[in-house]
Amino acid sequence: MTMGVVQNGVQYIIRLDMQRDGVPFRKIVQMVDDLEGDIIAWDLVRAEDQRTIRDLTVLMATADKLHALVTELSQLDAVSVENVSDRTFLMHLGGKIEIRPRVHIKTRADLSHVYTPGVARVVEAIAEDPSKAFQLTMKRNTVAIVTDGSAILGLGNLGAKAALPVMEGKAVLFKWLANVDAIPLCLDTQDVDEIVETVVRIAPAFGGINLEDIAAPRCFEVERRLSERLDIPVFHDDQHGTAVVILAGLINAAKVVGKSLESMRVVIAGIGAAGTATAELLLHIGVRDIVGYDRMGAIVEGQSYPGHPQWEKLAQQTNPYHRTGTLRELLTGADVFIGVSTGNLLTLEDIQGMARDAILFVMANPTPEIAPEIAQLHAKVVATGRSDYPNQINNVLCFPGLFRGILDSRAKRVTVRMKVAAAHALASVVKDEELGPEYIIPSVFNREVSERMAKAVIQAAEKDNVARRITKV
C-alpha cells in the first residue's frame, strides 16, 4: 500500500464489484499512487463464485483526484464501481437517530400495564387533568424540531427532505448534550398558515417547539403566531440561539478589552433572523448605539422597508444618531462589528477606522466577512462561526441547555429574562483567569455549559412566573 503521500485529505470508501483474479491489486495501488493518494484499507465484503465485492478505502487530497480515480477504476473491464462514500456519508447511512422504549415488555402482565387494559386508567387521568401529560407521557422530555427547509444552513431553500439530515443532527446534539429527546418534523410546505396549523395540531405531544432553518421574514410570523396559540415554548434557534451565544461572547469580550458593553457602539451586518434577534437582545441589556446594516444600507428611522416589518420596528429602536453611508463609514469609531451576512464583505481598510481594541464577530459560514488572520491585524478579539478558529459562536452552545431548563421547569414560553440568563450562564463557564482574546466562549464539548444554562433558565422562568414546576437548583 502507498504510505505517507497525502498529508491532508479526505478518506473515501469505494465499493468495487470485481471479477476474481481480473485485476491485480498492484495495478490499483499504482492508480492511487499516480494520483498522489494513499490506500488505507482493502477489505473483503463478500466473495462469490466468480466475483468479489471489496471496499477500497483511500485518502485523496482533492475531490478532483477522487473523481479521476473513480473514472479510471470504472474503465477497467473486470471492475464495476458500486458506490463511493466518505466518512460523513457513512455516518448518515440509515439516519442518525432511532426510537427506543424506556420500558420493556417481557410478560403478559407487562403488556397489560403498558398497553390495554391498564393504559386506559392513564388516559382517563390525563383527560381529567391535562397537565398530567407532562408526568405520564413523553411530553415531559420531548421537543419537536420543525422546519420547512427554506434556509438550510448556508445552502438556502432546498426543501423538506434535504433538511432532514440537519434536523437529525440537531436531535443527536439535544440528546448527547442535555438528554432531551427531539423529533425532526420536516414540513412539505412553506405557507405560513399551513406551517402554523400543522404545528398547533401536533403540539400536544411535545414540551417545546424548536423552529429551525425557516427563512426570514416568514420565520418571524411563524414564531409569533405559534407563541400566541400554544401553551408551550416556541423558540426559533436561528434567531434567539444565535443571539444568546453572541451576547455571551460579547459579555466576555468586553471584559477582555476593558470596556462596558452598554457603552459600546455596535454595527450589525445582516438584519435577518439572527441579526434582528441579536439587536433586540442587546437593546434589552442596555446597549443603545446599535446600527443595523443590510443590502439596502443602514437601517434608519424614517425609511420605508416594504416586506420587512422587522426592519421598520428596528429602525425605531436603533441608530439613535441616524447614521447612514457605506459599511466602512458606519464602522468608523465603532467598537463592535457583528457579521451574520456574507463572506468577504470587509477589507482591512474597512476595519482600520474602528475604535481601539475593536471586537469583530465575523460569523458568515463557511467564509467569514473578513479572514480572521486579517481581522486580527486591527481587532483585539475575533470570533467566527467556524470550528477551526478560536472563539466559535455556535448555536449548539445554547439550545440543548436552554431546552433542558424549559422542560424541567415546564415553562409556558421563553422570556427575554430566560435568554439573558442563558447568555450570562454561558459566559460564566469561562473563568476570569482563563479569559483572553482567543478564549471568550467555551467549547461545545464542555459538559458544564448545558448544566449551568439549564439552572439559569429554570430560575429565570420562575421569576417570570412562566414555570409550571418549581425546581430546586
CA separation for the pair 222, 235 (Å, rounded):
11
CA separation for the pair 392, 230 (Å, rounded):
33
Q: Which residue has the cell 438556502?
A: 156
CB-CB contact of 257 with 381 (8 Å): yes
CB-CB contact of 437 with 389 (8 Å): no
Name the DSSP letter for residue 126: H
Integer angstrom CA distances of residue 422 from 82, 310, 403, 458: 49, 24, 11, 10
CB-CB contact of 230 with 206 (8 Å): no
**Cα dihedral across residues 228, 231, 233, 236: positive or negative:** negative
CA separation for the pair 282, 218 (Å, rounded):
23
Strand ranges (E), 271-421: 290-294, 297-298, 336-339, 359-362, 381-384
CA separation for the pair 320, 312 (Å, rounded):
14
Catalytic residue among 170, 380, 419, 455: 170
Name the DSSP letter for residue 156: B
Specify the pairing of strand 208-211 against strand 234-236. parallel
Beta carbons within 8 Å of 286's beta carbon, 6+ residues apart: 261, 262
115 is catalytic: yes
CB-CB contact of 97 with 168 (8 Å): yes
Q: How many CA atoms lie within 13 A of 179 on its CB side?
A: 6
Between CA 446 and CA 448, with CA 447 as vertex, the angle to 5 degrees is 90
CA separation for the pair 161, 169 (Å, rounded):
14
CA separation for the pair 393, 386 (Å, rounded):
8
Catalytic residue among 27, 115, 161, 463: 115
To the nearest 10 degrees (0 to 180), the angle between helices 218-229 and 192-202 is 30
Q: Which residue has the cell 381529567?
A: 128
Strand ranges (E), 92-233: 142-147, 181-186, 208-211
CA separation for the pair 241, 440 (Å, rounded):
17
CA separation for the pair 419, 233 (Å, rounded):
12
455 is catalytic: no
Which residues are known to be catalytic? Answer: 115, 170
